[in-house]
Amino acid sequence: MPAAQKQDRGRFMTLFDAYLMVDWSAEARPKLGRDSIWLALVERSVRGLRLAMLENAPTRQGARVRIADLLADLAAQGKRTLVGFDFSLGYPAGTAAALGLKGLPWQAMWDRLAAAIDDGADNANNRFAVADRLNAAIGQEAGPFWGHPQGRRFEHLAMTRPTYGALPERRIGERYISGPQPVWKLSGAGSVGSQALTGIPAVRLLRRDRRLGEICRVWPFETGLAPLDDAATRRHPVILAEIYPSLVTPLAQGEVVKDALQVQAIAGHFARLDEAGVLPALFAGARDLSAQERRIVESEEGWVLGVDLPGIRAGREKVDIDGLFSSAFAYIDDPEAIYRESRRIIETEADLSQVPLEARALAVRLIHTCGMTDLPRDLDLSRDAVARGRAALEAGAPVLTDVEMVAKGIIARRLPAANKVFCKVAGKAAAERAASQGGTRSAAGIDLLVPQMEGAVMAIGNAPTALFRVLEVVAAGGPRPALVIGMPVGFVGAAESKRALALSGLDYIAVHGRRGGSAMAAAAVNALMGGI
């Protein structure tokens, strides 16, 4: 565990370092904004609570993958995370038995839903058809599930509230709060049943993620109704729980989507309870539960974290979003976390399938430098260019650049053989040569580098004329570089000079077209030394 984190934990004596709250959606198509999926990650730092991330996910599959990546990343940092989902993780007592399911009721219900729900990458899903089949299996004329869009017909799924028969309308824990609709209601104002039908399979997949399986537990099904302590979260640093964001009322300046405010507010609420030493006891549930009720909660129904906090009433506590965090902006300020998140975004958004395996680290670094995930389509390199460039550097070859900006961008301390970096464009000699012979100072600077050119690594990141001059020198029988990195930028000559490089017979790395630049040329040299 990092020293700063140990100091932080000792100061606050908290169960968790991070609080990831999820506002789910059962939308049948990708959607952003109101009534879509929102994720808020609040972390504790030496400067106080900070909103590390606020994201709006258009699809459930995308949200689940993002949550899994976040949790794996936080765990790798040694951080303990409370994860809250705003939908029921269990059904009223007797549901599993009514369906004829065997084994632990909550687990059997999760398995049944996972097998039945089809939830596509585009959010298209069959939740109403599944509810219709579940009603039929339970054997009631209609219900307990109810509610569906107008214009659709189902044999066993009524549009309006039916009689529930032997099954309870609500779970035991819901007697402590007013407001939430029963989990049976799938459509209409305030309905939450569709979120549970689509959400439970997603949480089940999270629980089974190979990176999380050993460190993750679902409360209270796998932990029991008992206070959490430091040892418990040390063994299992990821705790998945059910939450009710409307326990608190968020306050903020300006017009902000309510769902976005609520996930921030409830995350801050639990973080404050954690700091106050109140949070551990909330995992024990209400004190007035009978032994039988506790067994039902632990085996089938689940519990909503914090609903039994003495004196709490839904919406009574006001949370000032603007004053909650140490910074008003959600951004990552840890260098290692920035690296990891950059790498994740690049690998998610960029198509690296056509890039040779040995050049993928190079492609990632170039994308990281320019911020353009479509860059691989223009990346071109000769066979074994990366290996030959690296070998030249390891053998002590100098690095020759067309402009000082490229030279300054090369990480000299990582050069494998204390390689020299040369650039002649800024000197008096280049200016005089350009004035007397015509042409650009960049091309004149290349002429002054000819004595060092044999076997060198050349990085051209600014001037097309410099790259053309390198090719002219070689074509006239002059010294041949070991590798030419051709990334001049601009509208005149940039694309043409890189096309000529690709036909020159030299080993090369190029980004075709108009884009390029000093930063990218330097990044390509740095990539030869490994790392992002």
What pLDDT, on a 0 to 100 scale, did the predictor assign at position 508?
Answer: 95
Separation of alpha carbons 305 and 242, rounded Å: 6
What pLDDT, on a 0 to 100 scale, did the predictor assign at position 143?
Answer: 79
Helices (H), 87-192: 95-98, 105-116, 127-138
Lowest mean pLDDT among 134-148, 158-172, 301-315, 346-360: 301-315
Q: How many CB atoms lie within 10 A of CB 141?
A: 11
The confidence band for 6, taking pLDDT boundaries of 50, 70 and 90, is very low
Given a contact cutoff of 8 angstroms between Cβ atoms, the answer to whether 457 and 528 are in contact is yes
The confidence band for 145, taking pLDDT boundaries of 50, 70 and 90, is very high
Given a contact cutoff of 8 angstroms between Cβ atoms, the answer to whether 427 and 454 are in contact is no
Whether the bond between 220 and the residue before it is cis, its omega within 30 degrees of 0, is: yes
**Amino acid occupying residue 306:** G
Given a contact cutoff of 8 angstroms between Cβ atoms, the answer to whether 154 and 282 are in contact is no
Residue found under tokens 């998140």: 341
With H, G, I as helix, E, B as strand and everything else as coil, classify residue 56: strand
Entry field: residues in the chain: 532
The H-or-E segment that residue 435 falls in is helix 428-437
- Domain boundaries along the sequence of the chain: 85-323, 355-528
Separation of alpha carbons 296 and 175, rounded Å: 14
Residue found under tokens 């390199």: 381
Per-residue pLDDT reduced to its tens digit, 461-514: 999 999 999 999 999 999 999 999 999 998 998 999 999 999 999 999 999 999
What pLDDT, on a 0 to 100 scale, did the predictor assign at position 453?
Answer: 93
Residue 132 φ then ψ, to 5°: -60, -45
- Indicate if the pLDDT at residue 367 is higher than 70: yes
Report which of 415, 251, 333 is spatially closest to residue 48, judged by C-alpha positions.
333
CATH superfamily, domain 355-528, is Cobalamin biosynthesis CobH/CbiC, precorrin-8X methylmutase (3.40.50.10230)
What pLDDT, on a 0 to 100 scale, did the predictor assign at position 236?
Answer: 96
Given a contact cutoff of 8 angstroms between Cβ atoms, the answer to whether 201 and 114 are in contact is yes
State mean pLDDT over 22-26: 96
- Indicate if the pLDDT at residue 86 is higher than 90: yes
Token pair belonging to 327? 């910074």
- Indicate if the pLDDT at residue 8 is higher than 50: no
Q: How far apart are the first and last CA of the chain?
A: 24
State mean pLDDT over 291-313: 88
Residue found under tokens 């009574």: 316
Separation of alpha carbons 217 and 327, rounded Å: 31
Which residue(s) pair with 51 in the sheet?
Answer: 42
Q: Which residues are catalytic?
A: 368
With H, G, I as helix, E, B as strand and everything else as coil, classify residue 492: coil
State mean pLDDT over 201-217: 96
Report which of 239, 300, 323 is spatially closest to residue 112, judged by C-alpha positions.
300
- Indicate if the pLDDT at residue 331 is higher than 90: no
Given a contact cutoff of 8 angstroms between Cβ atoms, the answer to whether 421 and 401 are in contact is yes
- Indicate if the pLDDT at residue 333 is higher than 50: yes
With H, G, I as helix, E, B as strand and everything else as coil, classify residue 469: helix
Separation of alpha carbons 293 and 123, rounded Å: 36
State mean pLDDT over 87-115: 96
- Indicate if the pLDDT at residue 323 is higher than 90: no
Per-residue pLDDT reduced to its tens digit, 424-435: 887 777 777 877
State mean pLDDT over 347-369: 86
What pLDDT, on a 0 to 100 scale, did the predictor assign at position 5?
Answer: 39
Residue 6 vs residue 300, higher pLDDT: 300
Separation of alpha carbons 272 and 19, rounded Å: 11
State mean pLDDT over 279-303: 95
Mean pLDDT of the chain: 88
Separation of alpha carbons 192 and 181, rounded Å: 6
Cα separation values, 431 from 328, 434, 440, Å? 50, 5, 9
What pLDDT, on a 0 to 100 scale, did the predictor assign at position 531?
Answer: 55
State mean pLDDT over 42-58: 88
The confidence band for 315, taking pLDDT boundaries of 50, 70 and 90, is low
The confidence band for 319, taking pLDDT boundaries of 50, 70 and 90, is confident
Given a contact cutoff of 8 angstroms between Cβ atoms, the answer to whether 37 and 24 are in contact is yes
- Indicate if the pLDDT at residue 368 is higher than 60: yes
What pLDDT, on a 0 to 100 scale, did the predictor assign at position 330?
Answer: 56
Token pair belonging to 521? 């040329």
Per-residue pLDDT reduced to its tens digit, 382-424: 999 999 999 999 999 999 999 899 999 999 898 999 999 998 8
Residues 6+ apart with CB under 8 A from 420: 398, 399
Residues 6+ apart with CB under 8 A from 151: none
Report which of 362, 384, 391, 387 is spatially closest to residue 375, judged by C-alpha positions.
362
